[in-house]
Amino acid sequence: MNTVRAVVRYQLSGALKSRWLMQHTLIYLIIAEGLVLAAGTGDRALASLINVVLLLVPLGALVFGTMHLYSIRDFILLLLTQPIRRNSLFSGIYLGLAIPQSLGLAAGLALPFAIHGKLSGGVAGELALLIGLAVVLTFVFTALALLIATHIKDRVRCIGVALGVWVAMAIAYDGIVLLAVETLSRFPLERPLLGIMLLNPVDLVRVILLLSLEAQALMGYTGAVFSRFFGSPLGYGLVTIALLAWVVVPFHLTRRAFERRDF
């Protein structure tokens, strides 16, 4: 545990001095500021912010995560010469990367709403839910980024694979599901569709957010099916378990790969 704290503290101090965290925060701050000014009300700004967050959070976590592991390779080699456990070292690297990103996006998203007084009428709770789920996605895709970087030693190829994962999960996934629904419309697809949705954390977060904002018309076919299921305790529990699994499973897979990698 001391090793984890030391690595996290070292990475946090480095992140506070680096440009990437400031740029990361400014991106969300500028986008949220623009949407708040353009939308006029907090509810409209939040509805517009959902798709932006769902696109940028996985992209940022994947790109930062893959590049970060290469940038601290010498630091890793130095620590591996010391009598410390690899799983503790990995946990420190993971948390030291995910926590600054989470703090940056939380500050960037919340400040415009607070400054312009748009937190009344339940907007504060909805914004907190948006930030919380964005943090969950940050931890999920940070683990996936480190998993990719651990298996692929070439930096360019690694970033290419990370971008491919982002396109597949954040952009192409819904299109493929919609195409399958249109092609197989003669068959009962509701239950298989619910199972397919659990395989994509971005889709799960999108549906939860749009349901919380009562924007079912924006959810498409997959969200319309899930909105009926999500209202039940079983549906809510299943979604919670699925999101927790998306945090825990990639973390453990990446930690095992990190322990076996020859640096």
User: Mean pLDDT for the chain?
Assistant: 81
Mean pLDDT in residue range 185-200: 71
Interior angle at CA 215, CA 210 and CA 221, nearest 5: 80
Mean pLDDT in residue range 190-215: 76
> Is the per-residue pLDDT at 161 higher than 80?
yes
pLDDT given for residue 76 in this prediction: 80
Report yes or no: 137 and 58 within 8 Å, Cβ to Cβ. yes
> Is the per-residue pLDDT at 65 higher than 60?
yes
pLDDT given for residue 59 in this prediction: 93
Mean pLDDT in residue range 95-112: 90
What's the CA gap between 133 and 46, in Å, rounded? 13
Tell which wins on pLDDT, 155 or 181.
155
Mean pLDDT in residue range 248-256: 89
Mean pLDDT in residue range 224-242: 70
pLDDT given for residue 4 in this prediction: 78
Mean pLDDT in residue range 30-51: 83
Q: Give the position of tokens 């937190």.
A: 119
> Is the per-residue pLDDT at 187 higher than 70?
no
Least confidently predicted of 5-14, 124-133, 216-225: 216-225
> Is the per-residue pLDDT at 122 higher than 80?
no
Q: Is 55 exposed, middle or buried (0-12, 13-18, 19+ CB in 10 A)?
A: middle
Report yes or no: 107 and 21 within 8 Å, Cβ to Cβ. no
Q: pLDDT of 55-64, one tens digit each?
A: 999 999 999 8
pLDDT given for residue 20 in this prediction: 78
For the whole prediction, is pTM greater than 0.85?
yes
pLDDT given for residue 217 in this prediction: 47
Q: Is 166 exposed, middle or buried (0-12, 13-18, 19+ CB in 10 A)?
A: buried
pLDDT given for residue 47 in this prediction: 80
End-to-end CA distance of the chain: 23
